[in-house]
Structure formats: C-alpha cells, structure tokens
Amino acid sequence: MPVSRMPVVKLHLTAAAASLHAQALEAGGVLPANVERVAHLVDDALREASREAQTDVRGPPPEDWAAPL
C-alpha cells in the first residue's frame, strides 16, 4: 500500500493559511484582491483535503506528462 502524502500536503496548506491570516491581521483585514483569492483557494484546498476520497475523478495523466524522476 502506497504511503499517503496528504498529511504533508495538509501541513503545508495549514502553514500557508496561517501566513495569510497573519498578513491579513497586519494589513488590518484589508488584503489585495489576488491575496484574498489565494486565501480562499487555500481554504477550499484544506476543506477538500479533509474529505474522504471516494474515487479518483481526475482520470489518467496526459500522454505528454513527464514521469517524476
């Protein structure tokens, strides 16, 4: 059984969320639009990472996708 990397992914996403939260506090709660979008994406990714995966809906990788070294 392959080892899941999700705990590490969740750790990195949580660190990004904490950093974005700190930036929001320093900015008085007003963030540039692009940073606000990133914060929402990180929140969405954390929610999705916490869900139980039923099946892989991504399909096979593209044929020209380079295999990891």
Per residue in 29-66, pLDDT (tens digit) is 888 999 999 999 999 999 988 887 666 667 787 888 87
pLDDT at 69: 63
* pTM score: 0.66
Asked if residue 26 has pLDDT above 80, the reply is: yes
Alpha-carbon gap, residue 67 to 69, rounded angstroms: 6
| Cα 66–chain centre separation | 22
Question: Stretch 1-24: mean pLDDT, rounded?
Answer: 90
